[in-house]
Amino acid sequence: MSFRLQQNLGGCVPTIVNAIEVEGLSRTFNSRRAVDDISFTVEAGEIFGFLGHNGAGKTTSIRMLTGQLRPTSGHARVAGCDVIADQQRLKPLIGVVSEHQNLYERMSARENLIFAARLYGADTRRIDEALDQVGLLDRANDKIQQYSNGMKQRLLIARSLLHRPQIIFLDEPTRGLDPIVGRDIRRLVQNLSREGITIFLTTHYMEEADQLCNRVAFISAGKIVALDTPDNLKLAHGQKSLQVRLNDGERLTISLDDQDSGEKIKQLVTSGQIRTLHSAEATLEEVFIQMTGRKLSE
């Protein structure tokens, strides 16, 4: 499914289809290429994921797209704004949730959001609305020192929503969180997407990318090695097979790519030996390992 929302994103160009356009973007640190000539587009309203192992270039890519880091070469436009030339016009249009929980610990949640609202010129009446959206309204006056990791992550998302951005960048939003809290964050992200916000997220959790993203780009050693919907990636690169359990308990795996697979299945069916029969698709992680030679957790 592709999203073709013709939205007026209120950016530097009056009407745009692509929320993000990247062409030949690279970043070098002391002769090491952290991001190497990447090109892609993200459609307005889409949830787009960057999936890669640690050190693959995900965070560097986000930092370039959000104006924190100057690219060594290439171009990028976010909400129609050039990430270098139009930085000051770009910033009010985007929200950024960093991989670090960069909140002011000695201040309360409400004070953190008041400060952010003043920076963005946002209406401070939005603060309660944003806190309620992430389920933190009743803890608004607690100091951040008293917050759990999950609460801090939710507050970061609330802070990124204050000024009603068109695009939100989430860098490893569920990293280090327990599964239940991670699930809550993912639900939050899906709700934001339903409101029409374009989401660009990076993750090294395969299930997260599979569950959330409309399209995923695999990034490894600074390069994009694949880009498509999760289903297409699994279908195109995974091995199709059937998992068969026989009446005597024996388990068989029949690859549908084998020429004689049809004959084998017919034999098993007619023999009445089959207890259970399941299709087994490749997982995104298996596809990633196949394409990059590395595990996501490396």
Partner 1 sequence: MNSRVVSAFAQKDIVDAIRNRYLLGALLTPVFVAVLLRILLPGISNLNFTVVVHDPGGSRLASELRAMPQMKVITAASAEGVANELEKSKAVGGLAIPANFDADIAAGKQPELVVYVNNKQNDIEQAMFRQLVERQFLTSVKERLPAHLTWVDVNKEVSGEAPALNVNQMLLPMLLLLTFAMAGALVVPLLLVEEKEKRTLDFLLTSPASLSEIIAGKALTGIAYSVLFAGILLAVNYKLVGNWPLTLLTILFGIVFVVAVGLFMGALFENTMQVNTWAGLVLFVLLAPSFPSLRLPAMLERALHFVPTYYFVEALRLALAGTASPRFWGHLVVVLASTVVAFAAATWALRRQQN
Task: Give the interface with partner 1 as residue ranges (CB under 8 A).
Answer: 66-70, 88, 91-92, 94, 96, 98, 100, 102-107, 111, 115-116, 118-121, 159
Instruction: State the Cα–Cα distance between residues 119 and 87, nearest whole angstrom.
Output: 15
CA nearest 1: which of 43, 39, 51?
A: 43
Instruction: State the Cα–Cα distance between residues 173 and 179, nearest whole angstrom.
Output: 12
Six-digit token pair at 184? 């809550």
Six-digit token pair at 68? 């924190």
Nearer to partner 1 (CB atom), residue 139 or residue 159: 159
Nearer to partner 1 (CB atom), residue 143 or residue 240: 143
Place of tokens 């279908």: 235
CB of residue 115 to partner 1, shortest distance in Å:
5
Instruction: Label each residue of 214-268 as H, E or C.
Output: CEEEEEECCEEEEEECHHHHHHHHCCCEEEEEECCCCEEEEECCCCCHHHHHHHH
Nearer to partner 1 (CB atom), residue 120 or residue 274: 120
3-state helix, strand, coil in the chain (%, to 5): 35, 30, 35
Nearer to partner 1 (CB atom), residue 111 or residue 281: 111
Six-digit token pair at 212? 């959330």
**DSSP-derived 3-state class of residue 14:** coil
Six-digit token pair at 165? 């951005």
Instruction: State the Cα–Cα distance between residues 256 and 185, nearest whole angstrom.
Output: 37
Nearer to partner 1 (CB atom), residue 14 or residue 121: 121
CB of residue 8 to partner 1, shortest distance in Å:
20
Nearer to partner 1 (CB atom), residue 89 or residue 183: 89
Nearer to partner 1 (CB atom), residue 44 or residue 103: 103
Q: In this structure, are residues 118 and 63 in contact, taking their beta carbons and an 8 Å threshold?
A: no
CB of residue 170 to partner 1, shortest distance in Å:
13
